[in-house]
Copies of this chain bind each other. A is one copy, B any other.
Amino acid sequence: MTDMDDQESVKGNDPEKVVISAALTGALTTRDQCEHIPYTPEEIAEDAAAAREAGASVAHIHARTPDGSPTFETETYEEIREAVRERTDIVVNFSTGAVGVPVEKRVAYVEETAPEMAALNMGSMNYAKYSESREEFVFDMVFENSFSEIREFVTAMNGAGVKPELECFDTGHIGNARPLVEHGDLEPPLQFSLVMGVLGGIPATVENLAHQVRQLPDDATWQVIGISRDQWPLCAAALSMGGNIRVGLEDNFYLPDGEMATNAELVEQAADLVRTVGRTPATPDEAREILSID
């Protein structure tokens, strides 16, 4: 037991075992940008198995059509779940977020496929990108997740036995969990994903990560989700604080040396980093215990 094992920021995590999540696909990027992105259920399942081999214990997945467009069909999610299950014991986590897709459609596949976990976006915000070199906004959306929508998702997840992963892009999003716990919608211990570096949400700094972690209940588990080049230093900081981490092509294509990578290579690099700070990657079953998934 050292000071670092014992720091407040560990919260409900395991000071030694680290849950590495692999965000295999995402919804926005394409093979034109990175040829390694898996599209079909088979491709996704192969990447899940390889990520598991490299040290990941959770696979976070968005469904795609064979041509790479995002899809929200129950059938595709069902195929993905089956294909992953055939190959590996990794925890299956489905995305639920989208701009411009009706809530019912996104609730439906969660209810019907009942993955072990599903992402739950905990508030509204601008979701934008500004290019310093081009001196213009590349995109500029409002990412809407009202309390009533959040509660629709929670109700569905509770009914289907799905563990919600609370995606928080800003400090208020963490605070939004409180009335939902008081109202009996969410049941502790909660699992938080602290997303950093999206323009419109909290900027990616270690100071801000420490601040987000301070907001969490003592028994909460948490991981950091860093976007693009800032991912590696954010992972290093989170691991030092006792956090879990997420890597994968949804968030970032590159290894620290600037090489474009596969999902498995990204997980391998993450697992190395885990060991460098004196911790070890959790197995899927250890992850289930840490995250209170039955």
Interface residues of A (CB under 8 A from B): 1-4, 7-9, 123-126, 128, 130, 132, 135-137, 140-148, 169-172, 175-176, 178-179, 182-183, 196-197, 199-208, 210-211, 214-215, 218, 228-230, 232-234, 236-237, 239-241, 256-257, 269, 272-273, 275-278
Which single residue of chain B is at the shortest CB-CB distance from A135?
Answer: B183
Say whether B230 contacts A3, CB under 8 Å.
yes
Interface contact A205-B3, CB-CB below 8 Å: yes
Minimum distance in angstroms from A161 CB to a CB of chain B: 25
| B-side contacts of A182, CB under 8 Å | 130, 132, 135
The answer to whether A175 and B147 have CB atoms under 8 Å apart is no
Once bound together, how far apart are the Cα atoms of A228 and B218, in whole Å? 27
Contacts of A214 in B (CB 8 A): 8, 207, 214
Residue pair A240, B206 in contact (C-beta under 8 Å): yes
Q: What's the nearest-Cβ distance from chain B to residue A270, in Å?
A: 10
Please tell me which one of the listed residues B126, B205, B240 contacts residue A147 in the complex, with CB atoms under 8 A apart.
B126
Having A142-B142, A233-B278, one finds 10 other A-B pairs with CB under 8 Å, namely A8-B214, A124-B125, A130-B179, A136-B183, A137-B147, A147-B200, A171-B171, A203-B215, A218-B218, A232-B278
In the complex where A4-B234, A140-B146, A257-B275 touch, is A176 in contact with B207 (Cβ < 8 A)? no
